[in-house]
Amino acid sequence: MQWETVIGLEIHAQLATKTKIFSGASTAYGAEPNTQACAVDIGLPGVLPVLNQEVVRMAVKFGLAIEAEIANYSVFARKNYFYPDLPKGYQISQMDDPIVGIGHMNIEVDGHTKRVGVTRAHLEEDAGKSLHENFQGLTGIDLNRAGTPLLEIVSEPDMRSAKEAVAYMRKVHQLVQYLDICDGNMQEGSFRCDANVSVRPIGQEEYGTRTELKNINSFKFVEKAINIEVERQIDIIEAGGRITQETRLYDADKNETRSMRSKEEANDYRYFPDPDLLPVFISEALLAEVKAELPELPELKRARFIADYQLDLETAGILSSSKELANYFESLVKESGCDAKICSNWVTGDLIAALNKQCLNINQSPVSYQRLAGLLKRIADNTISGKIAKQVFEAMLSSEDSADNIIEAQGLKQITDSGAIEAIIDKIIADNPAQVEQYLSGKDKVFGFFVGQTMKASQGKANPGEVNKILKDKLKR
């Protein structure tokens, strides 16, 4: 039997506020355990939550970016369950009246564009964290994350492969960073997802029984976990078994999913409106204000890069993949005054390769756009050749010197004096009569030999254009 995979993702994006969603406690990462959990976060009797206005603006900003319905009226509810790192015995979330309603996002997989529906995006508080590593037979509880603001983004079950799920997750990751509402740091838990996975016979409209893969925090693991879970479900069904609706964990070391607990339904959580929080009303004035703050979004920026800079689709896609990289590229074009394609080649080639090698992002680049612009100017005015420029760039990666200082200190200026180049070429021609004879007899490939010997003799400093011109004059048939 042929099977179809059905996938929906629930993405949790930690909102980039300085304080928590219902208290003034800090959200800074890396503090000592339980030093950033105030009375509100740990649910002491008599304390009252106060909604952080900034989280509302961030949720609205996301909703507008995905062309979603924004609720004029939304309500916070209590989601009741008992777990050691949930001190109140309930989580404040949204159920019936989320702040962001139906929207959509477009993804691209294997050259095809697909629209993925977004069911809702609602605000909620995070729970604390259970720690097991340093406790023999015990569990430690760190409540620093308790009350951290989250935007839970729930997709429709529109994805049909792990590859599509990863493409969608990457698109959401890119968007929340463009909007400056989430730093997207997966290692720190700022961006993670739950994947709802089921299979059904091809052609069947009814969905199969789904399982939830919980708290996956990397694109690679999302793809692996989904593929492994799909394979497990098909094996069970084809062997005559039934899929149990449950929550499962992905074990990256063993590359397997394993049961965590039975999957709860909404009524198991006994949702009801939180009596300590008033409903949220979104005015038209606030919508207009937030809409005016929206940046140029990735798809529009990519289209503009193609139109304004005559870049190909792939290059424009790379440069617009993050707002910071796009800003670096445009600043480089402006600062250097060079052709945009030359700038894009250096950014997507040498610069990104160097950053990847050192596991750095563009904000951590050891070469600023100003310094790289200085290097490109020296290529443009023929001070150095493109080959020498790569040598200068390597030196710039490990120092703070400008391109001009490195060129001067290492004596890398290009030889443009045609007399000096001619003298080098005359000697090479005189020393290689056999190769001259081969070229004159019609073996054009030998021309490259003379170019190479000239560049070697000049230590790469001879102007390539002059070298080619003089050689052609000297080797006339």
Q: How far is CA 99 from CA 50, 80, 123, 438, in A?
A: 17, 20, 7, 78
pLDDT band at 264 (very low <50, low <70, confident <90, very high): low
pLDDT at residue 417 tops 80 = no
Residue 266 has a pLDDT of: 65
Residue 100 has a pLDDT of: 97
pLDDT at residue 414 tops 80 = no
* Higher pLDDT, residue 263 or 198: 198
Tell me the pLDDT of the chain averaged across its residues.
92
Residue 451 has a pLDDT of: 83
pLDDT at residue 106 tops 70 = yes
Residue 427 has a pLDDT of: 87
- Residue 25 neighbours by CB under 8 Å, 6+ apart: 19, 36, 37, 38, 40, 41, 147
Residue 103 has a pLDDT of: 97
pLDDT band at 448 (very low <50, low <70, confident <90, very high): confident
For the sheet containing 103-109, what is the strand order? 103-109, 112-125, 149-155, 3-14, 191-201, 211-216, 246-251, 256-262
Residue 362 has a pLDDT of: 96
User: What is the mean predicted confidence (pLDDT) over 14-36?
Assistant: 96
Cα–Cα distance for residue pair 424/422, rounded to 1 Å: 5
Residue 263 has a pLDDT of: 67
User: pLDDT digits over 346-368, tens only?
Assistant: 999 999 999 999 999 999 999 99
Burial 301-318 (b: 16+ CB within 10 A, else e): bbebbbeebebeeebbbb
Residue 203 has a pLDDT of: 93
User: pLDDT digits over 169-187, tens only?
Assistant: 999 999 999 999 999 999 9
Over pLDDT 90: what percentage of the chain? Answer: 75
Q: What is the pTM of this model?
A: 0.86
pLDDT at residue 477 tops 60 = no
Q: What is the token pair recorded at 276?
A: 């300590």
Residue 416 has a pLDDT of: 66
pLDDT band at 464 (very low <50, low <70, confident <90, very high): confident
User: What is the mean predicted confidence (pLDDT) over 229-239?
Assistant: 96
Residue 430 has a pLDDT of: 86
Q: Which amino acid is at 107?
A: I
User: pLDDT digits over 127-155, tens only?
Assistant: 999 888 777 888 899 999 999 999 999 99
pLDDT band at 418 (very low <50, low <70, confident <90, very high): confident
User: pLDDT digits over 400-410, tens only?
Assistant: 999 999 998 98
Rg (CA), the chain: 30
User: pLDDT digits over 281-321, tens only?
Assistant: 999 999 999 999 999 999 999 999 999 999 999 999 999 99
Cα–Cα distance for residue pair 169/54, rounded to 1 Å: 24
- 126: exposed, middle or buried (Cβ count in 10 Å: 0-12, 13-18, 19+): buried
Q: What is the token pair recorded at 288?
A: 């207009």
Cα–Cα distance for residue pair 102/459, rounded to 1 Å: 64
Residue 446 has a pLDDT of: 83
> Nearest 5°: phi and psi at 176?
-65, -30
User: What is the mean predicted confidence (pLDDT) over 415-433?
Assistant: 81
